[in-house]
Amino acid sequence: MTPTEPEEHGRGRDRALSFSDGVFAIAATLLVLNLKAPHLTGSNLDQQLRHALGKDGGVLLGFVISFYVIARYWMVHHRLSLRLRRVDGRFIIINLVLLAFIVFLPFPAEIIGLYGSTVTAVVLYSATMVAIGVLSLTLWEYAMRAQLMGHVPAATVQATRTRSLIPITVFGSSIPLAFLSPSAAQVWWVLLVAYPLLEKGVGRRWHRRAGPPRASSTHADARGSADARPDPGPSAT
């Protein structure tokens, strides 16, 4: 921060965060506009409707994945805002670039829905997702280095980095895969949703298996301590 650049506490910080929330909300709303109900006429409407919905499967897939990603990055941004004490000019610039890609996301989402079988559509969508992931991670890292937040535990820092790197890795690795098979690259994106669910499932199973400390072992230790006491011998009569 330059000496002439003002730090923004209080109202300035709140305005920056409110603007961010608004952009995330608008981007999520724009995704819905890509979903259009089919207009059918004639007989056998049921079969026509199934065919039309199947034809729009790519648009639905793009909506689900895009909304999931926007929601996850909003949660990361929200956790950042809870710890944020102030903002500066560089933070605002990085945040604005991130928001530009967030609000741009509905466009590649519509492209992937209409032309999902093409390499160009898959690469455009994946590249946009990678850019969002890198910018979100950059924003968090800058806020820590510039001491814009209070103390952040090391476990929280590591968890945030891991959550940010997952979509970057998934979408980044899908770009070369798209040149081999655009369909396979889109299936690869399912890892973005599957990984957190698997991670939580494995964690719950591990905790259930471990369980609370068994009382029997505590009682055994107590009995062992009692047995180890010296024998007082026969009492005097």
Residue 216, in any domain of the structure: no
131 lies in some domain: yes
Domain that holds residue 116: 10-196
Residue 212 lies in a domain: no
* C-alpha R_g of the chain: 27
Half-sphere exposure at residue 143, Cβ-oriented, CA atoms within 13 angstroms: 29
Q: By C-alpha distance, which of 193, 175, 195, 194 is closest to 185?
A: 175
Question: Mean pLDDT in each 10-residue stretch from start to end of the chain (237 residues)?
Answer: 49 82 89 74 73 72 83 87 87 94 90 87 94 92 87 80 84 93 87 63 52 49 49 44
At 166 the pLDDT is 83
Distance CA 170, CA 195 (A): 10
Inside any domain, residue 230: no
Distance CA 237, CA 235 (A): 6
pLDDT value at residue 93: 93
- Asked if residue 53 belongs to a domain, the reply is yes
Predicted pLDDT at 197: 58
Give me the pLDDT at residue 203, please: 47
CB-neighbour burial class of residue 103 (10 A; exposed 0-12, middle 13-18, buried 19+): middle
Query: How many domains, the chain?
Result: 1
pLDDT score at 171: 92
Terminal-residue alpha carbon distance, the chain: 88
Q: Supply the pLDDT for residue 208.
A: 59
The token duo for 127 is 């590249």
Q: CB neighbours (10 Å) of residue 54?
A: 10
